[in-house]
Amino acid sequence: MSDGNPSRSGPTIRDIARHARVSAATVSRVLNGHDTVHPNLRDQVLRSLSALGYYPNGVARSLRTRQTQTVGVIIPDILNPHFAEAVRAIQDTLAVAGYTPLLCNSDRDRGREFADVAALLARGVDGLILASAAEHASEIAACVRGHRPVVLMDRNLPDSPFDSVSVDCQTPTRDAVLHLVERGRRRIAHLAGPQETSTAREKLAGYREGLEQAGLPFDPPLVCFGDYTTSQGEAASELLLDRRPPPDAVICANNLMSQGLLRAIARRGLAVPTDVAVIATDDVYWTVLIDPPLTVIAQPVYELGQRAATLLLDRLRGESGPPRCMRLQARLLIREST
C-alpha cells in the first residue's frame, strides 16, 4: 500500500509549466491573476490549462496561504427549521465570497460542541459561526485556539469578546402577554425553553415583564420548561394543561415545542382560542395551515444568518475593532389563535 494513489489527481501546476514551456511560478501568476504576465505567455498558459484539464489543488494552496476558505458552523440541530433557514442564509452569503461552511449539530451538548470546535479548527477553518450551547463566552474563548474570528449567532452573551447577532424576542413576548390580556385572558402560561440559552431567558423575561405591566401576578406553576424539542414540548404542555384552574392562554418559546403543545391541546379536545389561546414562535409555514391560523412571534431568521455571515466575512477581510453586538427585531404577528 504505502503512498498508494487514492485517485491520481490530474495534472499539477508543474505539468502545465512544462507543457507551456514556462516556470511553475508563471503558471501560478496567471492562475491568480497576479502581476502583469506577458500576454503571449499568458495565452500559452491558458491553452495548456484547458488542454490538460487542470484544476487547482485547494489543499496545497491552503497549506501555503494558511486559509481554507471554509467556515465552521455549529447549530443545535439542522432539523429545526429555524436553524435550517439560518444555515441557508449563511451558505448563500458565504458563497458569494467563495467560502463554504462546515456544518455540525451539537444537539445542545456543550461537550460535543467543544469537540466539534476543536475538530473544525484542526481542519483549518478560517472562522466560526456558533449558535452555542455555552452559557458564558469564556467557555468558548477557552477552546478557540489560533485567534480565529468567531461570530455568535442567535445568542446574546454578556461581556463577550466576539461579534454577535441575535433577535430581540423579549419585547414581542411582552407584547404577546399584553395582547392576551387585552383579549381578556388572565391565566397566561409560558412554555419556556432551556434557561442555559439566552433566547429562552429573554423570552421568560419578556413574559414576566408583560405580566408586571398588566398588573398580573407571576404564578410559577404557569411556567413549564422544555428543551426546545417537540416531545418535551408536548410533555411540558401536559403539565401546563393539568393546572387547576387551567391556563387560558399559552405562549410558546420555540417552533418545535409549539408542535407538541398543539398535539397536547388536540388530545384533550380543547378548542383554540375558545378554551386556550396559543402564541407560537417562528413564522413557519404550517402555522398558517392550522385551524385557526396561529398568532406567532415572527423572527427574521434568514437575516439572522445573513448578518452572522457578513459579520464574519468582515473579520476575514481583516477588519479589526471592538466586538460588534447586533440586535434584530422580532414582532408579534396576530392571527386567529388569540
Partner DNA sequence: CTGTTAGCGCGTTCAG
Partner DNA sequence: CTGAACGCGCTAACAG
* Contact residues for DNA, defined by CB under 7 A: 1-3, 9, 12-14, 21-26, 28-29, 31-32, 34-38, 40-42, 56-57, 60-61, 63-65
Distance CA(309)–CA(94), nearest Å, equals 6
* 28 vs 62 by CB, closer to its own copies: 62
Query: What's the min distance (Å) between Cβ of 294 and its own copies?
Result: 10
Q: Is 274 in the site for its own copies (CB under 8 A)?
A: no
Q: Is 317 in the site for its own copies (CB under 8 A)?
A: no
* 20 vs 151 by CB, closer to DNA: 20
Query: What's the min distance (Å) between Cβ of 120 and its own copies?
Result: 8
Position among 44, 105, 173, 197 found at the interface with its own copies (CB under 8 A): 105
Distance CA(45)–CA(56), nearest Å, equals 14
Cα Rg of the chain (Å, integer) = 26
* 31 vs 121 by CB, closer to DNA: 31
Judged by beta carbon distances under 5 to 8 A according to partner kind, the member of DNA, its own copies, none in contact with residue 123 is its own copies
296 forms beta bridges with 280, 333
Distance CA(286)–CA(46), nearest Å, equals 52
Judged by beta carbon distances under 5 to 8 A according to partner kind, the member of its own copies, DNA, none in contact with residue 7 is its own copies
Q: Is 244 in the site for its own copies (CB under 8 A)?
A: no
Residue 221 has φ and ψ, to the nearest 5°, of -60, -15
SS3 state at 164: strand
Position among 34, 109, 271, 286 found at the interface with its own copies (CB under 8 A): 286
Q: Is 76 in the site for its own copies (CB under 8 A)?
A: no
Q: Are 153 and 86 in contact (CB under 8 A)?
A: yes
Grid coordinates belonging to 295: 398568532
* 56 vs 161 by CB, closer to DNA: 56
Burial of 305 (0-12, 13-18, 19+ CB in 10 A): buried
Q: How many residues belong to the chain?
A: 338
Q: Is 300 in the site for its own copies (CB under 8 A)?
A: no
Q: Is 217 in the site for its own copies (CB under 8 A)?
A: no
Segment 141-170, which members bind its own copies (CB under 8 A)? 145-148
List, in sequence order, the alpha helices (H) in 134-243. Answer: 137-143, 170-182, 198-214, 230-242
- Other beta carbons within 10 angstroms of residue 192's beta carbon come to 22
Sequence-ordered strand ranges (E) for the chain: 70-75, 100-105, 127-130, 150-153, 163-168, 188-192, 223-225, 249-252, 277-281, 295-298, 325-329, 331-333
Query: What's the min distance (Å) between Cβ of 56 and its own copies?
Result: 6
* 247 vs 305 by CB, closer to its own copies: 305
Site for its own copies, rule CB under 8 A: 5-10, 53, 55-60, 62-63, 65-70, 77-79, 81, 84-85, 87-88, 91, 100-105, 118-119, 121-124, 126, 145-148, 230, 259, 262-263, 266, 285-286, 288-291
